[in-house]
Chain A
Amino acid sequence: KQEVTQIPAALSVPEGENLVLNCSFTDSAIYNLQWFRQDPGKGLTSLLLIQSSQREQTSGRLNASLDKSSGRSTLYIAASQPGDSATYLCAVRQTGANNLFFGTGTRLTVIP
């Protein structure tokens, strides 16, 4: 069974810093990988999706990379802002499957 791990569990940074969130998965036979953001008491907002054949995707200040062979993905956030404070979840979709396997998330706090 696919297992997804996110490190660190929590992270606090001052405003303006660049930061990296890490995601690792045990089974490299993936179809795609999605990064989500979850604000307290809210649902999930999709940030970036990387196909298994891609190495990275960018959206604004966000850049997600994928190294399928080593079972790793990173989410890079540039010039962090207080509004970036949220829990970030990584989710993997296996080849031949439909559902997502989620990590436990990284709770990010950006201090003004």
Chain B
Amino acid sequence: GAGVSQSPSNKVTEKGKDVELRCDPISGHTALYWYRQSLGQGLEFLIYFQGNSAPDKSGLPSDRFSAERTGGSVSTLTIQRTQQEDSAVYLCAAGSYEQYFGPGTRLTVT
């Protein structure tokens, strides 16, 4: 919806490795969000960007998680030293009023 793309669509990684997930809000929305959807927890907010700054990082579960956004467009969510509990679908959304979601990245940590 509204041109939000994410890559990769699927990522399998070994425990302890770092991963980068990418979100491209092609439509140019200034507001961008990352959410995580896991079986036991439902859909949880991770971080919110307005332009390139992140005024709300309250949902990041640990300091292994970080995100950045450059040029007011593409955002990267980085997970360091992945753990099995990080396995989930990571969803990106854009939109200041109505939120439009990308297709998600399914992360599996083995």
B88: A residues at CB distance < 8 A: none
Task: Report whether A34 and B98 are in contact in the complex, using a CB–CB cutoff of 8 Å.
Answer: yes
B100 within 8 Å of A (CB atoms) = yes
The 8 A CB mask of A23-43 against B (1 = contact, 0 = none) is 000000000101010000111
Task: Report whether A98 and B103 are in contact in the complex, using a CB–CB cutoff of 8 Å.
Answer: no
Q: How many residues of B contact A (CB 8 A)?
A: 24
Q: Which of A41, A98, A99 has the most CB of B within 10 A?
A: A99
B59 within 8 Å of A (CB atoms) = yes
- Give me the 6 closest cross-chain CB pairs, A-B, nearest first: A102-B43, A99-B45, A44-B101, A43-B103, A43-B101, A104-B42
Task: Report whether B99 and A34 are in contact in the complex, using a CB–CB cutoff of 8 Å.
Answer: yes
A54 within 8 Å of B (CB atoms) = no
B55: A residues at CB distance < 8 A: 98
B104: A residues at CB distance < 8 A: 42-43
By size class, the interface of chain A is 20 to 34
Taking A32-B98, A43-B103, A98-B31 as given, write out 12 further A-B residue pairs in contact, using a Cβ cutoff of 8 Å, ordered by the A residue number. Answer: A34-B99, A42-B103, A43-B1, A43-B102, A44-B91, A91-B99, A99-B45, A100-B35, A100-B93, A102-B42, A104-B42, A105-B42
A103: B residues at CB distance < 8 A: 42
A105: B residues at CB distance < 8 A: 42
B97: A residues at CB distance < 8 A: 32, 49
A45-B103 Cα distance, complex, nearest whole Å:
9
